[in-house]
Amino acid sequence: MTRRIAPSMFLATCLAFVFSVALAPLQAEASHCSTAAAAGRWAYTYTGTIFTQNGPLPAASVGHFSADAAGNITGSQTRSVAGNPGWRTSRPRPA
């Protein structure tokens, strides 16, 4: 029984080492996040469920936004909650 466990433990240890070495550059790159790095034009969609006291409601949205290097966001979205549509436009607040 001991002989069968040893190769499995060796394989698990090797795999853990390989994954830790492979993920190290991702962790190093994550430290360079900034609003300037996220600046640009973006689009998104989402679907899901909103749980209320009266029961679940289906929800969906599609939108787009622009972010500048200072962190200001401008954009709009169209959404539907329980089949009722809605629109929203966002602009930065004046200084």
Residue-wise burial string across 39-49, b where 16 or more C-beta atoms lie within 10 A, e elsewhere: eeeeeeeeeee
Rounded to an integer, the average pLDDT of 13-20 is 66
- From 40, 32, 33, 34, select the one nearest 73 (Cα to Cα): 40
pLDDT of residue 4: 58
Q: Please state, rounded to an integer, the average pLDDT across all residues of the chain.
A: 80
Rounded to an integer, the average pLDDT of 8-28 is 64
Using one digit for the tens of pLDDT, what is the confidence trace for 44-79? 999 999 999 999 999 999 999 999 888 889 999 999
Q: pTM (2 decimals)?
A: 0.55
**Domain-wise residue ranges, the chain:** 39-90
